[in-house]
Amino acid sequence: MRIALAQLNPIVGDVAGNTDLVLASIERARRDDADLLVTPELALLGYPPRDLILREGIVEAAEAAVGIVAAAAGEMTVLVGHPRRVEPGVRGVRNSVSACRDDAILAVSDKRLLPGYDIFDEDRYFDAGRAPCVIEVAGRKVGVLVCEDLWRAGDVNASPEYDVDPAAEAVAAGAEILVSLNASPFVLKKFARHRAIAREVARRLERPLVAVNQVGGQDDLVFDGRSFAVRADGRVIAQLPGWQEDTVTVDLAADAAITATPPEDDADLFHALVTGVRDYCHKTGHERALVGLSGGIDSALTAAIAAAALGAGNVSGLMLPSRYSSDHSVRDATQLAQNLRLAACPEVAIEPAHEVVRTLLTPTLPGDVKGVTDENIQARLRGMLLMAVSNATGALVLATGNKSELAVGYATLYGDMAGALAVLGDVLKTRVYDVARWINANPAAGGFATPPIPLASIEKPPSAELRPDQTDQDSLPPYEVLDPIIAMHVEHEAAVERVVVETGADPGLVQRIIRMIDAAEYKRHQAAIVLKVTQRAFGRGRPMPMAMRVTTALPPVQSSAHAHPPAAAAARQPDRRR
């Protein structure tokens, strides 16, 4: 059987545009003499629709588009993903796949396993399917699965265990071939796990398997595509490239096994972030981006990613030096702008405004305006100026903070946190350096003729430059020590004892860092959207309370039923945080 894999990049809600994508893939598959065309999950509406699916008329529009697909299918069978309403009301909607051929809908398959972990909340919107779906194509029986029906949460650390195995049930119902429609977001190293799961399922059930994935960015998520096909013995016979749309036809009988090299982590991260920036701007109607350039590594990598995503002519920098900015920082920012060939990179010194604000506050604040107050004034002046330029030019401000800073609150609300998109918000500081070195070693991957990031930005000690001779390590442990603690606690929710064992860090330091992470939650709730690239990113996949006090060490049980609580506990007052 010849199966066409349509790796598409839909826009959520754009039913007309998404239908055009499917129709174009039908024409491509027809030219390749395909028997079956497979699209991604919810291809006609886009994934994830979130509360948009509750809007009146949106489900009906997607269902009407199925008829257009059926009319275009001809003798080829097309599996197209869409929502469908099975009963009136807000609920009663299913995540479905229609099998279309000869201007008719042959069968409808409903997704059976609805994930409710991490960024997924499908059980909020959909009802689960109840039975396997097997259709006949070119004399063969094809079992239809939708994403989680195949993966069954096998690609994540913390997840439910399902009692149902839709793939096995499809085989029991007569399926000779398994096909899975997916919209599975990118997470570093996830694809290798996915392919291993698919190969295991194929071998266990002795059936060839085809998995088609969405590609592109959608809000905080990025999708890498990498659709593939495996034989019943688990050998991979086709794999589409990552990070690009394509429709490729695979012959399950004739195509030979291939050896697909796993993607390099730093390369994958760079392409994921480029995709996220490109599609966020494209799908929200923005052509240009603006980055505040400090001469440091975070703003340098953010600008390089933006230039690769949008073209250097659509990216501007803005240098905002203060009295504490070093000469080399200004030089490094200027060199970066030249390396990237940015559209513009003016310099606006914030010192005059800084002095005015200090003067205005002097009558109100006792003594001199100093310390964190003065440091944050500088950061907020920069944020204000960036947003002013954004308002005037229509360029989207990209926040430059990394995951390490967001984790411990080493960031200023309405200052360096200002922006529409936190490009590096899920990238730890040590990884920022790794990706910067990678793009310098592989400049062509970003469309650059020479290494884009100045070596000085990589080699010098990181500093916010908000006071004399400041470095990040004045307030934080070295990032080589800090980042493993953050990774263990944030991405694995590990408690102090486990973090100490896994990282070898001092218990007191681990406790302090975890307290800092908890205390900074209110800041993260006001942060720019973070592009998710790890198992646990800050944002909707990690919904934590802001008003909390974590106490897991309980007092011993007292024998008296009338015992009073200790006086110290009774008198304890709530923490007062600034």
Is residue 374 within 8 A of residue 323, CB to CB? The reply is no
Phi-psi region of 465 (alpha: psi -120 to 50; beta: other; left: phi over 0): left
Catalytic residue (one of 133, 147, 281, 345): 147
Residue 281: active-site member: no
Q: How many residues does the chain have?
A: 578
Is residue 342 within 8 A of residue 303, CB to CB? The reply is yes
Residue 141: active-site member: no
> Which are the contacts of 267, defined by CB distance < 8 A and separation ≥ 6?
438, 442, 445
> Which are the contacts of 364, defined by CB distance < 8 A and separation ≥ 6?
none
Phi-psi region of 537 (alpha: psi -120 to 50; beta: other; left: phi over 0): beta
Residue 133: active-site member: no
Is residue 81 within 8 A of residue 42, CB to CB? The reply is yes
> Which residue do the tokens 């360096």 mark?
416
Is residue 289 within 8 A of residue 306, CB to CB? The reply is yes
Closest among 537, 515, 512, 538 to 525, alpha carbons compared: 538
CA pair distance 573, 52, nearest whole angstrom: 43
Catalytic residue (one of 111, 190, 283, 403): 111
Measured in whole angstroms, the distance separating CA 151 from the mean position of its chain's CA atoms is: 19
Closest among 486, 334, 510 to 402, alpha carbons compared: 486
**Residues known to be catalytic:** 41, 111, 147
